Amino acid sequence: MENGMNMHKTMTPAIDLRHLTKRFGGHAAVDDVDISVPPGSFLVLVGPSGCGKSTLLRMLAGLEPPTEGEIAFGGKVVSSGKGGIVTNAAARDTGLVFQSYALWPHKTVEGNIDWPLKVAGWPKEKRAKRIDEVLKFLDIERLRQRYPAEISGGQQQRVAIARTIGPRPGILLLDEPLSNLDAKLRVDMRSELMRIHRATRATSVYVTHDQVEAMTMATHVAVLKDGRVEQFGPPDELLLRPQTTFVATFLGTPAGNLIPVTRQGAALTFQGVALADAALAAGQEGAQLLYRAQDITVGAREGRPRVTARYAESAPIAGQSMVTCLIGELRVTAMVDGFFRAEPGAEVELSFLHEPDAVFDAEGKRISQ
């Protein structure tokens, strides 16, 4: 019986969103979202500005009520649009790290960490011990008596995280917490957040527009566009099997190339050049072929289809050059071994080294296996 109970407990999602919708007037900022993740997950909500990811996070935090649908934490419904259930934000066992840090300027670092513990009813002795623990854990012990204005942005971010994890929340919510940091510090803090996630074992939900952060940190990724989930799953699944052209071109560094093709007899052609078998398009007259940058190179390759393009720019990456070219208005990225440079506007040949990685219909839906 005990094993059965443990299995049931393990199978209960830490976060379960069912048909979650948030409307502002006639606009659906979040539109019929279904997401479920197990305890200990690191869920990343990623997408461009205005896609609804921050609104979704605010609903999880209890700062916005849903218009429709439900939010359940550990099997318990905490928000219901039609059911009228809205659990107070303070009673959700969540901690929220804001993009702007939101530290109290009149309190010291120690005071910022102490306040939520005090509000939660922790006795003084336990608060003091916990403050010592999180200060040491985040390596900010020396900042104990300083005020937010006296420390750097990176240090303020550590204080904001310390304040949030102090009460040991079961769910940690992070709203673009690294966006105000410089590039190097972002990388350092990314590793730090992953360490914190492993140590606290809290289920984490992380909002970002940076797909590198998403693919580096996540156990689960939800790609949002116009309030809807384009695709949800493990990061490698989204990279290897994107279900829409939006996901295919939003994720990955560099982004994938989409080549528009038309059916001509038994081939799918681009500018009169046969690129793939028409059978891949499942009877469609037009389609879009996905090629990774590493599947295209500059220069002719024997037996491989090639097209003419104009050189735009190149960037060195780990012993290779990422070369961007233009075919009319279409931007195509290719990889070349070693260092490559040409005059902007110079004519070059691009060779397609392999079959397309995926085929999409004209509306952007995947149609290939």
Q: Give the whole-angstrom CA distance, residue 150 versus residue 127.
A: 24
Mean predicted confidence (pLDDT) in 245-271: 93
Determine the pLDDT at residue 188: 87
| Average pLDDT of the residues of the chain | 92
Instruction: Identify the domain boundary among 247, 268, 289.
Output: 247
330, part of any domain: yes
| Burial label, 141 (beta-carbon count in 10 A; 0-12, 13-18, 19+) | middle
Look at residue 142 and tell me whether its pLDDT is greater than 50: yes
Reported confidence tier of residue 158, pLDDT bands at 50, 70, 90: very high
Whether residue 108 sits in one domain with residue 26? yes
Residue 362's SS3 state is: coil
Reported confidence tier of residue 178, pLDDT bands at 50, 70, 90: confident
Determine the pLDDT at residue 368: 63
Closest CA to 349 of 312, 321, 310: 310
Strands 94-97 and 171-175: parallel
| Burial label, 283 (beta-carbon count in 10 A; 0-12, 13-18, 19+) | exposed
Phi, psi of 285 (to 5 degrees): -80, -30
Instruction: Identify the domain boundary among 187, 215, 247.
Output: 247
Supply the range of the domain harboring residue 180. Answer: 10-247
1, part of any domain: no
The residue assigned the tokens 């300083």 is 146
Whether residue 164 sits in one domain with residue 96? yes
Look at residue 282 and tell me whether its pLDDT is greater than 90: no
Determine the pLDDT at residue 369: 59
Q: CATH number for the domain including 355?
A: 2.40.50.140
Give per-residue pLDDT as tens, 207-232.
998 888 888 899 999 999 999 999 99
Token reading at 180:
């105000």
Whether residue 167 sits in one domain with residue 87? yes
Q: Which of 95-109, 258-272, 319-333 has the lowest mean pLDDT?
A: 95-109
| Cβ 116 vs Cβ 167: under 8 Å | yes
Look at residue 270 and tell me whether its pLDDT is greater than 60: yes
Whether residue 219 sits in one domain with residue 158? yes
Looking at the DSSP bridge assignments, the partners of residue 308 are 349
Determine the pLDDT at residue 359: 96
Whether residue 271 sits in one domain with residue 215? no
Strands 273-277 and 267-270: antiparallel
Looking at the DSSP bridge assignments, the partners of residue 23 are 28
Instruction: Identify the domain boundary among 195, 224, 247.
Output: 247
Mean predicted confidence (pLDDT) in 310-322: 94
Reported confidence tier of residue 4, pLDDT bands at 50, 70, 90: very low
Determine the pLDDT at residue 46: 95
- Give me the DSSP letters along 25-50: TTEEEEEEEEEEE-TT-EEEEE-STT
Determine the pLDDT at residue 358: 95
Whether residue 228 sits in one domain with residue 160? yes
348, part of any domain: yes
> Crossing angle of helices 124-137/109-119, nearest 10°?
130
Reported confidence tier of residue 74, pLDDT bands at 50, 70, 90: very high
5, part of any domain: no
Look at residue 340 and tell me whether its pLDDT is greater than 80: yes
Look at residue 290 and tell me whether its pLDDT is greater than 90: yes
Determine the pLDDT at residue 1: 39
The residue assigned the tokens 């006795």 is 123
240, part of any domain: yes
Q: CATH number for the domain including 114?
A: 3.40.50.300
Q: Which of 27-31, 83-87, 203-207, 354-358 has the lowest mean pLDDT?
A: 83-87
124, part of any domain: yes
Percent of the chain topping pLDDT 70: 97
Angle at Cα 211 formed by Cα 250 and Cα 99, nearest 5°?
A: 130
Reported confidence tier of residue 111, pLDDT bands at 50, 70, 90: very high
Which secondary structure element, helix H or strand E, spans residue 257, and what is its range? strand 257-264
* Of residues 244 and 185, more confidently modeled: 244
Cβ neighbour number for residue 133 with a 10 Å cutoff: 14
Determine the pLDDT at residue 30: 97
Look at residue 3 and tell me whether its pLDDT is greater than 60: no
Tally of domains within the chain: 2
Mean predicted confidence (pLDDT) in 133-143: 94
Reported confidence tier of residue 89, pLDDT bands at 50, 70, 90: confident
Whether residue 222 sits in one domain with residue 113? yes
DSSP letter at 300 equals -
Phi, psi of 332 (to 5 degrees): -130, 130
Report the Cα 344 to chain-centroid distance in Å. Answer: 34
Whether residue 343 sits in one domain with residue 225? no
Determine the pLDDT at residue 7: 40
pTM: 0.89
Whether residue 106 sits in one domain with residue 22? yes
Look at residue 66 and tell me whether its pLDDT is greater than 80: yes
Determine the pLDDT at residue 339: 93
369, part of any domain: no
Give per-residue pLDDT as tens, 226-254.
999 999 999 999 999 999 999 999 998 88
Whether residue 188 sits in one domain with residue 132? yes
Which secondary structure element, helix H or strand E, spans residue 211, and what is its range? helix 211-217
